[in-house]
Chain A
Amino acid sequence: MDIPVFEKLQKEGLLSTEVLEQIKVHEKNRHISVQWDLRTLLYLSILMVSAGLGIVLYKNIDTIGHATLVTLTGLLAGSCFFYCFKKSAPFSRLQVASPDFWFDYILLLGCLLMLAFVGYLQYQYHVFGMRWGLAIFIPMVFLFLFAYYFDHIGVLSLAITNLGAWMGIAVAPMKLLRSLEDSDENIIINGVILGLLLHLFAWLTTYINIKKHFAIVYKNFGLHVLFISLIWATGSFDNYFWWFLALAAVSFYHIRKAIAARNFYFLVASVLYGYFGVSIVVVKLLANVHSNGDLEILLGSIYFIGSGIELVFLLISLNKKFNKQ
Chain B
Amino acid sequence: MIAYNKEWLYSRHVLAQADEALHEQCIDQVTFNAISEKHPVKFYTPNFFIRIGLAILTAIILLFIAVLFLLAANFKSAGGVGVFIGILSIAVAEMFIHSKNHYNSGLDNMLVWAGGYSLWMGLMAILYEGYSHHDVLLGFIGVIIFLVLAVRYVDTICAIVATLFFLFFVYTAYKHFGTGWPMATIPFVMILVMGVLYFVSKRAMRSPGMLLFHNCWLWVSYVALVCFYAAGNYVVVDYFRDSLKTTPDISIRGPLLFGWFFWSWTFLIPVIYIVIGISKKEITLIRIGLPLLVIGILTFRNYHHVMEPETALMIGGTILFVISYSLISYLREPHGGFTFKPDTFNKEIPDMTKIIAAKLVGDVAPIDNKPQANNDWE
- Name A's B-contacting residues (CB within 8 A): 1-2, 4-6, 9, 12, 14-15, 19, 22-23, 26, 30-38, 41-53, 55-56, 59, 95-101, 103-105, 108, 151-154, 156-158, 160-161, 213, 216-217, 220-221, 224, 263-265, 267-269, 271-272, 294, 297-298, 300-302, 304-305, 308-309, 311-312, 315-316, 318-319, 322
Known: A34-B340, A98-B370. A48 touches B313 (CB 8 A): yes
Indicate if B373 sits at the interface (CB-CB under 8 A): yes
Contact with A along B60-89 (1 / 0, CB 8 A): 110111011001000000000000000000
Write the chain B residue with the least CB distance to A58.
B310
A residues near B374, Cβ cutoff 8 Å = 35, 98, 101
CB-CB under 8 A for A153 and B50, given A41-B320, A42-B325: no
Segment 298-342 of B: residues with Cβ below 8 Å from A: 309-314, 316-321, 323-325, 327-328, 331, 334, 337-342
Q: Are A9 and B35 in contact (CB under 8 A)?
A: yes
Judge whether B58 is part of the interface by a CB distance below 8 angstroms. yes
Q: Annotate B355-378 by CB proximity to A: 1 below 8 A, 0 otherwise.
A: 110110011011111101110111
Whole-angstrom distance between the alpha carbons of A37 and B367 in the complex? 15
Structural contact, B53 and A1, CB atoms closer than 8 A: no
Q: Is B253 an interface residue (CB 8 A)?
A: no
Q: Which residues of A contact B312 (CB under 8 A)?
A: 52
By a CB distance below 8 angstroms, the chain B residues around A221 are 359
Q: 30 pairs across A/B with beta carbons < 8 Å?
A: A1-B26, A2-B17, A5-B13, A5-B17, A14-B35, A15-B27, A19-B26, A31-B334, A33-B339, A33-B340, A35-B339, A37-B287, A38-B331, A43-B366, A45-B317, A48-B316, A97-B373, A98-B373, A104-B368, A153-B358, A153-B369, A158-B363, A160-B362, A263-B352, A268-B49, A268-B52, A294-B71, A315-B50, A316-B50, A316-B54
CB distance from B232 to the nearest CB of A (A): 25
User: Does B281 sit at the interface, judged by CB under 8 A?
Assistant: yes
* Total A-B Cβ pairs within 8 A: 250
B68–A312 contact, CB under 8 A? Answer: no
Residues of B within 8 A of A55 (CB): 309-310, 313
Q: Return chain B residues, CB-CB under 8 Å to A98.
A: 370, 373-374
Q: Are A49 and B313 in contact (CB under 8 A)?
A: yes
Q: Is the CB of A101 within 8 A of B317?
A: no
Q: CB within 8 A of A37: which of B58, B286, B370? A: B286
Does B47 reach chain A (CB closer than 8 Å)? yes
Contact of A157 (CB < 8 Å), options: B338, B358, B377: B358
Q: Does residue B184 face the partner (Cβ distance < 8 Å to A)?
A: no
Secondary structure of the B contact surface, majority rule: helix
Residues on A with beta carbons closer than 8 Å to the beta carbon of B358 = 153-154, 157, 217, 220
Chain A interface, >50% SS class: helix
- The answer to whether residues A48 and B317 also contact, given A37-B287, A151-B370, A311-B57 and a CB cut-off of 8 A, is yes
User: When chains A and B are docked, how far (Å) is the Cα of A56 from the Cα of B308?
Assistant: 10
Chain B residues near A100 (CB, 8 Å)? 373, 376-378
Residues on the A chain within 8 Å of B377, using CB: 100-101
Query: B283 in the interface, Cβ–Cβ < 8 Å?
Result: yes
Given contacts A31-B337, A305-B68, 11 further A-B contacts (CB under 8 A): A6-B17, A19-B26, A31-B334, A35-B342, A99-B373, A100-B373, A100-B378, A156-B362, A263-B352, A302-B68, A308-B57
Which of A14, A154, A265, A268 lies in contact with B366, CB distance below 8 A? Answer: A154
**CB distance B61 to A35 under 8 Å?**
no
- Find A1's partner among B21, B321, B331 (CB 8 Å cutoff): B21
Interface size on B, residues (CB 8 A): 84
CA of A216 to CA of B369 in the docked complex: distance in angstroms?
Answer: 12
Interface string of B18-40 (1 = CB under 8 A from A): 10110010110001001100100
Contacts of B27 in A (CB 8 A): 15, 19, 23
CA distance A105 to B370 in the complex (A): 13
Q: Is the CB of B338 within 8 A of A32?
A: yes
B20-A1 in contact (CB<8A): yes
Q: Which residues of A contact B327 (CB under 8 A)?
A: 34, 38
- Assembled-state Cα–Cα distance A302/B64 (Å): 8
B24–A26 CB distance below 8 A: yes
Closest to B102 in A: A316
Q: Bound state CA distance, A318 and B49, in angstroms? A: 12
Q: B7 within 8 Å of A by Cβ? A: no
**What is the chain A residue whose CB lies nearest that of B44?**
A316
Contacts of B365 in A (CB 8 A): 43, 108, 154
Q: Is B107 an interface residue (CB 8 A)?
A: yes
CA distance A285 to B14 in the complex (A): 53
Given known A-B contacts A217-B355, A297-B71, A157 and B342 have beta carbons under 8 A apart: no
Q: Which residue of A lies closest to B374 (CB)?
A: A101
Q: With the chains together, A104 CA to B362 CA distance in Å?
A: 12
Decide if B31 touches A38 in the complex (CB within 8 Å): no
CA of A36 to CA of B27 in the docked complex: distance in angstroms?
Answer: 27
How many angstroms from the CA of A19 to the CA of B30 in the assembled complex?
A: 13
